[in-house]
Amino acid sequence: MRYLTARKRAIGKGASHSGTEHHWSMTLSAVALAFMVPSWVYVFGHALGQDLDTVRATFSRPFPAILTALVLVIGMRHFAKGATMMVEDYAHGTARKMSIIFVYSISTMIVACGLYALVRMAI
């Protein structure tokens, strides 16, 4: 007798053949962002409007720097996966491929620029 669980039946199904993995990845990053973003907004809001030395002092501490880096990396990864899913649903052919490359490129550039700025402030 062969017994298949609901998850085993769902693997490989759907247009992209990775629907459950994508769903769990997006759910996990959304939950992580739901906890991190409010605390990051508090830290960022506290530093907003301060002079340069105060902002550098704020982001040179470990908690604000690590939190900012995590929000940036996880947020842009979440954005890239969600935008890619949207592009896969509505675009076809060469426009689809170019749009997916553009989405990943823009999210990678935002992460790179943000982490560079964060390191420059922390040093």
Task: List pLDDT tens digits, range 105-115.
Answer: 999 999 999 99
The Cα–Cα gap between 122 and 120 comes to: 6
What is the tally of helices (H) and strands (E) in the chain? 5, 0
Three-state DSSP state, 49: coil
Query: In Å, how far are 69, 79, 95 from 118, measured between CA atoms?
Result: 8, 20, 34
Domain at 27-122, CATH from 3.40.1350, 2.60.40, 3.40.1340, 1.20.1300: 1.20.1300
Task: List pLDDT tens digits, range 51-92.
Answer: 999 999 999 999 999 999 999 999 999 999 999 999 988 999
